[in-house]
Amino acid sequence: MSYLNVSSVCVDFLTENGSVKAVNDISFEMNKGETFGIIGESGSGKSVITQAILRLLPSNAVVSGKIFFESEDLLSIDNKKMRQIRGREISLIPQNPAGSLNPLLKNKLQVAEVFEVMGVNKKEGIKSVLGMLKNLLMKEPAHILENYPHELSGGMKQRLLAAMCLSYKPSLLVADEPTKGLDSFSKKGTLDLFRHMKREHGNSMLVITHDLDFALEICDRVAVMYAGQIVEIGAVTNVLKNPSHPYTKALLNALPRNGLIPLNGHTPSRINLPEGCLFYTRCNLRSDKCGSERPVTKSNKGVIVRCHLY
Amino acid sequence: MYRYIFKRMIFTAITLFAVFALTFFLMNVIPGGTSEMILKHTFIGLEESATQEQMVQVSARYNLNDPLYIQFIDWLKRGIFEGDLGMSFVYHKPVLDLLLLRLPATIILALSSMFIAVVGGVSLGIYAALKENKTADHLLRFLTLFGVSMPGFWVALVLILIFSVYLKMVPVAGYGSIENLVLPAFALSIHSLASIMRITRTSMLETLGQDYIKFATAKGLPVNRIISRHALKNAMLPVVTVLGFQMGAMLGGSVIIETVFAWPGIGSLLVNSIFARDLYVVQACIIVIVFLFLIVNFIVDLVYIYLDPRIRYG
Amino acid sequence: MIGLEITCLQNKSSVFSLKKDGIAGKILNRKDITISILLLALLFVVAISYPLLDFSDPNTIDLTNKNLAPSAENPLGTDYLGRDILNRLAAGTTTSLSIAAGVSAISLFVGIFIGCISGYYGGIIDETFSRIIDIFLSFPGIVFALTIMGFLGSGVINLILALSIVHWAKYARLMRGQVLSIKENEYVLSAKIIGAGNFHIMRKHLIPNSVATVIVLATIDIGHVILSIAALNFLGIGLPSDIPEWGAMLSAGKEFMRTSPYQTIFPGMAITMVVIIFSIIGEGLRDILDPNDTGGEYL
């Protein structure tokens, strides 16, 4: 039995310009204890999936499909149950550490409140957070808690958020773009942080990132997303060292160490989706079939690919 | 933070001083101004027959021949150190006495109105935000539009028509008991209530869209906890900013409401004095009103600093 | 050099294009704004045509018909001097709209001018003007206008002047803010590099790009101006009594509230309606031009 089973999930946003298909029939499975990565450009729909899992989408979002978490469909349980899962079973480290902390409240309060709600002794909870912060190599963690968010640097905020999420001892940890906007030194710090989390806590992790090197280091398996669809899933070394899908190949070519070869063209409009393969206009291996028929997922040498080539 | 408070205090003091000066000079410079009035009132009925000599005597007694800035300094000194703000031509009493007599009425009215406006406006604003785009929200927004657009004196008259004349629930005008306070306070509060409701709603909606609210939900906090602890305080910041301005609008509106309800406050005193050309009283009323306005704004600033730790420790 | 100049000129805001996805299209999408604009157009027609067409004089006194309830002949009833209320309301439209237009024009002109200069030159000019603006803004509007009118006396010019003195500071402050945020933009800097004069820059770059926000404020503000006009006339100051005006009508009518409330109800409704129309248009414009703006009228 798989641990997290996302099955044919679609997410549409209703806007005044039309219905935007952010996530287009996504399916993947995660095993317990593994680190699963979702890779793609900005706007490919990766963050939307994390929000869909935790039911954090705004009111103009329409979600269909099923998301099974330990055999319960998260999309159909009632609000009360969902609330109990959030924070405790599934924890989300958000994309924007600065914006995710309430500027008017002390850090200590924001850390402690989940313990309150869970019914755990606040003092115990705070102690475990402090311990975790020390582990994450933060100096003077007690002082940090007495301060306000704006007094912390970006890296400190990130560690605080990571410590908070971990201390609630979730079964599944979701990390949304942990290295976004960081310079290479901070990136290394984040990498160490995640390695540490993996080693010490062994949670199952779902990592969303556009940083391919980070994914290579941390993930066991990855899925590559393009324009709301998954185009390739497999073990990280298979996918990122021996890519099957043309898009994955192009992503790797665009890395500085591979020559910074850019990918021409734009992602297709999500309001008026084209008929054939969504990558058609930018693919240099395309054929006529690609323009008219949408490819389905197929197995190829241990990897699942969505491409007419296979 | 203290530097900021100090700067605000200085600014308030300077503005106040400038207002004093502006009022004084305007009163004296325009035709029908202080000097003419003093002369006129000293010689009531005798203007034509007043001799040059008598005019000179009176001028000397009131220092009317000194350059204006000296008169100003003199006036300031008398006002601040001796509490002598002049005599009312109409009531033949010291202006200070008149002010002290009428000030409580205005303060009671303004405070009650503000209370209604804030309590009503904030709660309705939060309610409308939580019910965004549902019927209740649309209805409230529609009512707000009316609230902000109706002339205060008209609201007052219609309220009198309904509650005093037809329903006979409260007396039409007068001063002395709670019954007398109800209509004026309510009439005065409508405009501010509508404004506050609007900005509370907008601010609340904006706050609810922030990432930290999303994260608080992701942490598994219950909805009412999220609203009471996270959303409320943050949403109130812009509202507090606006309160200062609303108070000013209210002080302005009280002038009209007091007149309609014959409420014996500073506002109605001002109106009557303007018509009667009772200049010292006019001067004093304006200064009191502006002073109240500046003080309220200063207090609002302090409250804002207290609420936002980014200014305190930033 | 010429290339730079062309780039500068192209930075003029294209907001006012009448394309379908430009302003015109967005306005038509919102029914409330469209209806309001149509109503406003109707008001303008009434205001402008009333003095020109030959309606019965709104000031004719006819004591035999005083205080009548609405009927076929007098759709809104008659007032205490037998004058038809609807007729007087229409006449009042001309009064209110023309005075409000005058006030807006003068305050906008002065406000934009001072705000622009203050924001652009900065330094001591800015400090001085800012203080002056703050001082003007620390008088509650009605109080200020009342006092000025009290000493100038009634009259159309006096009223326009007094209200302009009260309202210009708001626009100056907003304009100054806009200029401060725009003046560091690249097209301004490039204009300076090619040696454009200060006034040229202000005229061609600063004003066109900030005027939209100010106009939105002005539109919403016309409502406040009309309320002020009515308030002053209600108190008895403002216009001589032979000019029909809604506030004055209310003031006169209140004596007869018990028996004939129409004189009180209808003028107030007229004022409210006009203010609502301007508010809807003004706020609609603001939503269209900058959906992120939460509201400058609370300054």
Q: State whether B91 and B129 are in the same domain.
A: no
Q: What are the CA-CA distances from residue A251 to residues A188, A215, A219, A266, C58 (Å)? A: 21, 13, 17, 14, 79
- Nearest Cα to Cα of residue C173 among C221, C222, C227, C131: C131
pLDDT at residue C225 in the model: 93
Pick the last residue of a domain from B95, B116, B135.
B95
Q: State whether B76 and B123 are in the same domain.
A: no
Q: State whether A151 and A262 are in the same domain.
A: no
Q: Least CA distance to B33: which residue of chain C?
A: C151
Looking at the predicted structure, is the pLDDT value of residue A222 above 80? yes
Let me know if residue A178 belongs to a domain: yes
Q: Of B10-14, B85-89, B104-108, B144-148, give the lowest mean pLDDT range.
A: B85-89
pLDDT at residue A129 in the model: 82
Looking at the predicted structure, is the pLDDT value of residue C229 above 80? yes
Q: Is B140 in contact with B127 (CB distance < 8 Å)?
A: yes
Looking at the predicted structure, is the pLDDT value of residue B314 above 60? no
Pick the CATH number of C48-289 from 1.10.3720.10, 3.40.50.300, 3.40.50.150, 3.40.50.720: 1.10.3720.10
Secondary element (H or E) of residue C261: none
**Rounded distance between C-alpha atoms, residue A76 and residue A88, angstroms:** 19
Looking at the predicted structure, is the pLDDT value of residue A258 above 60? yes
pLDDT at residue C299 in the model: 35
Looking at the predicted structure, is the pLDDT value of residue C17 above 70? no
Q: How confident is the model at residue C106 (pLDDT cuts 50, 70, 90)?
A: very high
Looking at the predicted structure, is the pLDDT value of residue C126 above 80? yes
pLDDT at residue C8 in the model: 36
Q: How close is the nearest chain B Cα to the Cα of C211, in Å?
A: 24
Over the range A191-221, which residues count as b (16 or more CB within 10 Å of their CB) and which as e? Answer: bebbebbbeeeebbbbbbbbbbebbbebbbb
How large is the average pLDDT for residues A299-306? 85
How large is the average pLDDT for residues A120-145? 79
Q: How close is the nearest chain B Cα to the Cα of A236, in Å?
A: 28
Secondary element (H or E) of residue A185: helix A184-201
State what percent of residues in chain B have pLDDT above 90: 24
Write out the residue range of the structural domain in which residue A42 sits. 4-89+170-306
Q: What is the CATH number of the domain that holds B234?
A: 1.10.3720.10
Q: How confident is the model at residue B274 (pLDDT cuts 50, 70, 90)?
A: confident
Looking at the predicted structure, is the pLDDT value of residue A238 above 80? yes
Let me know if residue B278 belongs to a domain: no
Q: State whether B211 and B263 are in the same domain.
A: yes
Looking at the predicted structure, is the pLDDT value of residue C59 above 80? no
Q: How confident is the model at residue C70 (pLDDT cuts 50, 70, 90)?
A: confident
Q: State whether A26 and A108 are in the same domain.
A: no
pLDDT at residue B41 in the model: 61
| pLDDT mean across residues, chain A | 85
Q: Does A87 touch chain B (CB under 8 A)?
A: yes
Q: How confident is the model at residue B109 (pLDDT cuts 50, 70, 90)?
A: very high
- Nearest Cα to Cα of residue C241 among C160, C163, C155: C155
Q: Does B14 touch chain C (CB under 8 A)?
A: yes
Looking at the predicted structure, is the pLDDT value of residue C15 above 60? no
Q: In what order do the strands lie in the sheet containing A61-69?
A: A18-30, A4-15, A61-69, A72-73
Looking at the predicted structure, is the pLDDT value of residue C104 above 80? yes
Q: Is B99 in contact with B86 (CB distance < 8 Å)?
A: no
pLDDT at residue A280 in the model: 83
- Name chain A contacts of B308, Cβ cutoff 8 Å: 103-104
Domain count, chain A: 2
How large is the average pLDDT for residues A85-101? 86
Q: State whether A196 and A233 are in the same domain.
A: yes
- Name chain B contacts of C280, Cβ cutoff 8 Å: 145
Secondary element (H or E) of residue C82: none
**Rounded distance between C-alpha atoms, residue B69 and residue B67, angstroms:** 6
Q: State whether B110 and B91 are in the same domain.
A: no
pLDDT at residue A118 in the model: 78
Q: State whether A62 and A205 are in the same domain.
A: yes
A290 three-class SS = helix
Q: State whether B163 and B87 are in the same domain.
A: no
Pick the last residue of a domain from B37, B67, B95.
B95
pLDDT at residue C275 in the model: 92
Q: Which amino acid is at B229?
A: R
pLDDT at residue C11 in the model: 37
Q: State whether A185 and A159 are in the same domain.
A: no
Q: Which amino acid is at A119?
A: G
Q: State whether B111 and B234 are in the same domain.
A: yes
pLDDT at residue A195 in the model: 83
Q: Please provide residue A5's backbone torsions phi and psi, each rounded to the nearest 5 degrees.
A: -125, 105
Q: State whether B80 and B12 are in the same domain.
A: yes
pLDDT at residue B96 in the model: 84
Write out the two tokens for C184: 């560091």
How large is the average pLDDT for residues C231-248? 87
How large is the average pLDDT for residues B272-298? 85
Looking at the predicted structure, is the pLDDT value of residue C123 above 60? yes
Q: How confident is the model at residue A71 (pLDDT cuts 50, 70, 90)?
A: confident
Q: Choose the closest CB to B274 out of C140, C146, C275.
A: C146
Secondary element (H or E) of residue A256: none
Q: Highest-confidence range of B63-77, B240-254, C54-68, by mean pLDDT?
A: B240-254
Let me know if residue B314 belongs to a domain: no
pLDDT at residue C226 in the model: 93
Q: State whether B117 and B65 are in the same domain.
A: no
Q: Least CA distance to A149: which residue of chain B?
A: B310
pLDDT at residue C105 in the model: 93
Q: Does B241 touch chain C (CB under 8 A)?
A: yes
pLDDT at residue C1 in the model: 39
pLDDT at residue C177 in the model: 86
Q: State whether B135 and B240 are in the same domain.
A: yes
Q: Of A72-86, A150-164, C191-205, give the lowest mean pLDDT range.
A: C191-205
- The neighbouring-strand residues paired with A230 are A225
Contacting chains of C (3 CB pairs or more, <8 Å) are B
Q: How confident is the model at residue A117 (pLDDT cuts 50, 70, 90)?
A: confident
Write out the two tokens for A197: 């989390």
Q: Please provide residue A303's backbone torsions phi and psi, each rounded to the nearest 5 degrees.
A: -120, 150
Query: Which residues 3-62 of A have a C-beta within 8 angstroms of B?
Result: 51, 54, 56
Looking at the predicted structure, is the pLDDT value of residue B91 above 90? no
Q: Least CA distance to B260: which residue of chain C?
A: C235
Q: How close is the nearest chain B Cα to the Cα of C201, in Å?
A: 33
How large is the average pLDDT for residues C287-297? 60
Q: State whether A108 and A183 are in the same domain.
A: no
Looking at the predicted structure, is the pLDDT value of residue B310 above 70? yes
**Rounded distance between C-alpha atoms, residue A79 and residue B244, angstroms:** 41
The more confidently predicted of residues B92 and B198 is: B198
pLDDT at residue C9 in the model: 39
How large is the average pLDDT for residues C268-288? 87
pLDDT at residue B29 in the model: 67
Domain count, chain B: 2
Q: Of B44-48, B113-117, C31-35, C86-90, give the lowest mean pLDDT range.
A: B44-48
The tens digit of pLDDT for each residue in B21-56 reads: 877 777 776 655 566 666 666 655 555 555 666 666
State what percent of residues in chain A have pLDDT above 70: 99
Q: Is B101 in contact with B109 (CB distance < 8 Å)?
A: no
Q: How confident is the model at residue B98 (pLDDT cuts 50, 70, 90)?
A: confident
Give the CA-trace dihedral at A277, A55, C294, A42, to 10 degrees.
-30
pLDDT at residue B151 in the model: 92
pLDDT at residue B117 in the model: 95
Q: State whether B210 and B252 are in the same domain.
A: yes
Q: State whether A135 and A148 are in the same domain.
A: yes
- Name chain B contacts of A105, Cβ cutoff 8 Å: 229-230, 233
The tens digit of pLDDT for each residue in B177-224 reads: 888 888 899 999 999 999 999 999 999 998 988 889 989 988 888 888
Contact assignment for B158 to C223 by CB distance below 8 Å: no
Looking at the predicted structure, is the pLDDT value of residue A219 above 50? yes
Q: How confident is the model at residue C109 (pLDDT cuts 50, 70, 90)?
A: very high
Q: Does B220 touch chain A (CB under 8 A)?
A: yes
Q: What is the CATH number of the domain that holds A255?
A: 3.40.50.300
Contact assignment for B286 to C147 by CB distance below 8 Å: yes
Looking at the predicted structure, is the pLDDT value of residue C21 above 70? no
How large is the average pLDDT for residues A236-244? 88
- Nearest Cα to Cα of residue C289 among C171, C178, C188, C137: C178
Pick the last residue of a domain from A153, A169, A185.
A169
Q: Of A200-204, B33-37, B89-93, give the lowest mean pLDDT range.
A: B33-37
Let me know if residue A94 belongs to a domain: no
Q: State whether A22 and A151 are in the same domain.
A: no
Q: pTM for the whole thing?
A: 0.81
For residue B277, what are the contacts with CB-CB under 8 A and spacing of at least 6?
B32, B37, B89
Q: Choose the closest CB to C257 out of B33, B157, B271.
A: B157
Q: Does B265 touch chain C (CB under 8 A)?
A: no
- Nearest Cα to Cα of residue A51 among A80, A97, A20, A82: A82
DSSP conformational letter for C84: B
To which residue do tokens 């469209």 refer? Answer: C34
Contact assignment for A85 to B220 by CB distance below 8 Å: yes
| pLDDT mean across residues, chain B | 83
pLDDT at residue A262 in the model: 83
Write out the two tokens for B242: 């606006």
Contact assignment for B256 to C234 by CB distance below 8 Å: yes
Let me know if residue B280 belongs to a domain: no
**Rounded distance between C-alpha atoms, residue C117 and residue C114, angstroms:** 5
Contact pairs from chain A to chain B, CB under 8 Å: 79
**Rounded distance between C-alpha atoms, residue B185 and residue B171, angstroms:** 14
Q: Does A1 touch chain B (CB under 8 A)?
A: no
Looking at the predicted structure, is the pLDDT value of residue A4 above 60? yes
Q: State whether B38 and B152 are in the same domain.
A: no
Q: Least CA distance to B151: which residue of chain C?
A: C227
Contact assignment for B271 to C268 by CB distance below 8 Å: no
Q: Choose the closest CB to A102 out of B234, B237, B314.
A: B234
Write out the residue range of the structural domain in which residue B119 sits. 104-268+285-307
pLDDT at residue C206 in the model: 75
Q: State whether A165 and A182 are in the same domain.
A: no
How large is the average pLDDT for residues A14-38? 88
Q: State whether A287 and A200 are in the same domain.
A: yes
Contacting chains of A (3 CB pairs or more, <8 Å) are B
**Residue A180 burial (CB count, 10 A):** 16
DSSP conformational letter for A74: T
**Rounded distance between C-alpha atoms, residue B229 and residue A243, angstroms:** 48
Looking at the predicted structure, is the pLDDT value of residue C2 above 50? no
pLDDT at residue B173 in the model: 75
Sign of torsion over alpha carbons A233, A235, A239, A240: positive
Q: State whether B179 and B230 are in the same domain.
A: yes
Q: Does A146 touch chain B (CB under 8 A)?
A: no
